[in-house]
Amino acid sequence: MELEESASDSKLHRDSTSKKELRPSSAVSLSKSENGPETSTSNEQLKQYKSWVSSERWNELKKIADAAMKDRKVFMIKGGGFPAVRRSLLERGWIEKYESHKVRHPPTNVDPKKLHGKELSKVERMILYKFMEHHSVDFLWTTKRDKYDWLLSNKDVMISRFCRSVFTTKEGLTSSLTQMHWHTEPGVALTKFPRCYNIHNSDSLEEFIDDFRITACISLLKWLSKALKNNNEQSLMESHGKVPFSAVEFAITRLNEYIVFLTHKDIDDTEDQQHVWEHEWDQFLTHHYLLVHEKAKFLEDKNSNLRLLERKAVKILATMAKYWPQIDIDGVLNIWIVKPGNKCRGRGIQLMNNIKDIIGLINIPAQKTRYVVQKYIENPLVIYNTKFDIRQWFLITNCQPLTIWVYKDSYLRFSSQIFSLSNYHESVHLTNNAVQTKYKNTGERDKALPDENMWDCHTFKAYLRQIGKYELWEEKIYPGIKQCLIGAMLACQETMDKRQNSFELYGADFMLTEDFTPWLIEINSSPDLAPTTSVTARLCPQCLEDVIKVVLDRRYNLEADTGTFELAYKQTVPKAPAYLGLSLCINGKRVVRKYKERRHESKNIVAPVAPRLPCGDAAPPDDQPIPPEYTGPIITDFLTWLNPYDVLPTNKDGILLGPKDSLTNTSRKARKKYGLTESASKAEKTKVDRFRLAWILFPYIPATTSPSN
């Protein structure tokens, strides 16, 4: 057996040695270092480390480690980086426990007395790690959603990530926000989110196709109304036109049918319903594309009046505004943005206006990527003819009850190109910093725009002041952002992780329409906090320091400073009323006749049966208080069904009017033992059956009577 174990050990050693070159250096065990012994225990390593520092410093480091473990002030930053978090925790007296793969053995060819600076700090870091090697951290800052951290940590460990955040994916956010209308509260929660569909699902795909078609009808009528305002009728028609006037009539008819459907006026008018075939929709979408995108002309028709159709279009659009809430962002081009459901940083995003191209994208053989389709906002607010979006940080410190903190400072991200709806390139429409860094700023941009393509919110406020709209930030934009976030989180609350000592910082992307209304686009986990520009170099470290203020300082002092974070929402959960139970006690007293009277009684005489009372089997005696009337569930009908004797006819004294046959196979020995007649024994059995049924239905209610007393 010893030989087999040694052979197995040598085999594992050969495998690990052969794979050592394939593993990153951070994955190599601490006990296998190139500079230290290949195998050594923790005590041997501590003895080795002790020779590198003085005895006074050794004892000081020991006291520091013991105090941190006693006061529960040991933290770890998993994944590296975040110097602002490390600095804030160290200032508060916390001690960092480094990850095991970052701790190395000290070099053997250096004189310990000549150590200074970074080399000495590395040695002390290794000593502290050895002192706290078997102590669990009390604060874990991690960048990955690793279940390992939640499974091994106890409930008192603070973790900077939730185990589950479905809404941080485009697919999860789309599914969660389908229920956001249930959480709308004026002035508190109101989420504006461009309609979005998970088209990998067959039901959602059908909904998207219907939406695309109705949007095309609206877009065509919008285009017609806008075109006739700037041109006369003859400029839109020609003898060799490609689009007939019937396309406009088709759009008006379909919108009328949609309104009739939403107002439920089509329930009784089944005979007037007209079926629209697929080829008719295909033909209309082709006409819409020719008119709107390729600037085609109408075919001249003397029997049709374009102005009359335009008036009908304006009227139906005014009615549709009541039933199509997002009619203002639709525009006339019917553009949709297609996004991979599980990717970030702008990867794989495309703009499309043809439904066949969109469906063809998801029907690619061996396609593993799930796509979501979102309506593109065709009327965004632009600054100096350049598109931008707003990155807003918010912090969730508890999911039950839901607690949301919003960072008051935000920043704008600009595109490097001039905005245009005719150019679908990503450099024009995707303002992600990861996308825009791949392109150079065009020379056509206004010189007032920053070269780094970023503004902070204070610069944006100065711009609003310049155009005379300064009050809109405090009155409409910032309150609208908070309401969008609160409504979205309430809609996603059921899918959130309910762990109490978890928190997470998210980054939400917003776009403004021409009327300065904020629209939520997506929510990101692990937002980019790197100092890539002068704006983020100033805002990101301050945001991380303020996160520590909220999750640590305010944990022990509710009046502590929270920096730039503002408590935007704290859910009030009503307490559940105490369950007092139902009043199901039965008060009664056994009616007993003397044995001598029963012995001389004739067996042919039927025993009288007392009339049934609504609240029990027997009336309470006069010397006991009468209990309150029972208001619980009525089970007397069920008892009657179980006891067919109760339905037999009786006179006013409760005496049966005729003899009855036995419906049970009761033992005669039992009746003789208790000296009962057949009828009396059956009446006694009825009481026993009722008591047993009550005990089965309500076993937790202590009964005041029993069959024997």
Residue 554's pLDDT band, with cuts at 50, 70 and 90, is: very high
**SS3 call for 206:** helix
C-alpha distance from residue 333 to each of 219, 249, 420, 471, 525 (Å): 7, 19, 12, 32, 32
Write down the pLDDT at residue 9.
38
Residue 577 is given by DSSP the state P
In this predicted model, what pLDDT tens digit does every residue of 485-506 receive, in sequence order? Answer: 999 999 999 888 888 889 999 9
Residue 680 has pLDDT above 90, yes or no: no
Residue 695 has pLDDT above 60, yes or no: no
Write down the pLDDT at residue 665.
43
DSSP-assigned letters across all residues of 578-626: P----------------HHHHHTS-TTSPPP-PPPBTTBSSPPPTTSPP
Residue 1 tokens, joined: 């057996």
Cα separation, 681 vs 67, in Å, equals: 79
| Interval 465-472 mean pLDDT | 93
CATH 3.30.470.20 domain range(s) in the chain: 166-194+378-570
In this predicted model, what pLDDT tens digit does every residue of 72-99 receive, in sequence order? Answer: 999 988 877 889 999 999 999 999 888 7
What residues does 650 pair with on adjacent strands? 656
Chain CA centroid to CA 422, Å? 36
Say if domain 166-194+378-570 classifies as CATH 3.20.20.70. Answer: no
In this predicted model, what pLDDT tens digit does every residue of 317-340 receive, in sequence order? Answer: 999 999 999 999 998 999 999 998
In this predicted model, what pLDDT tens digit does every residue of 412-452 receive, in sequence order? Answer: 999 999 999 999 999 999 998 888 888 898 888 898 999 99
Cα separation, 220 vs 224, in Å, equals: 6
In this predicted model, what pLDDT tens digit does every residue of 374-418 receive, in sequence order? Answer: 999 999 999 999 999 999 999 999 998 999 999 999 999 999 999
Q: Name the pairing type of β-strands 504-512 and 298-299.
A: unpaired
* pTM tops 0.75, yes or no: no
Q: Are 522 and 194 in contact (CB under 8 A)?
A: no
C-alpha distance from residue 43 to each of 47, 49, 56, 81, 131 (Å): 6, 10, 19, 31, 10
Cα separation, 381 vs 640, in Å, equals: 75
Residue 113 is given by DSSP the state G
First-to-last alpha carbon distance for the chain, in angstroms, is: 73
In this predicted model, what pLDDT tens digit does every residue of 6-40 receive, in sequence order? Answer: 333 333 334 443 433 333 333 223 333 333 443 34
Place of tokens 């040991």: 74
Interhelix angle 202-230/246-262, rounded to 10 degrees, is 130
The mean pLDDT value of the chain amounts to 78
Place of tokens 């934009």: 477
| Interval 246-271 mean pLDDT | 87
Residue 633's pLDDT band, with cuts at 50, 70 and 90, is: low
- The neighbour count for residue 286, using CB atoms within 10 Å, is 14
Q: Is 528 left (phi over 0), alpha (psi -120 to 50) or beta?
A: beta
Residue 363 has pLDDT above 60, yes or no: yes
Which DSSP helix (H) or strand (E) runs through 298? strand 298-299
Residue 476 is given by DSSP the state I
In this predicted model, what pLDDT tens digit does every residue of 103-162 receive, in sequence order? Answer: 555 555 555 555 555 556 777 778 888 888 888 889 999 877 766 555 556 788 899 988
Write down the pLDDT at residue 149.
59
Q: Is the dihedral of CA 200, 281, 193, 462 positive or negative?
A: positive
Residues near 232 by beta carbon (within 8 Å), at least 6 away in sequence: none
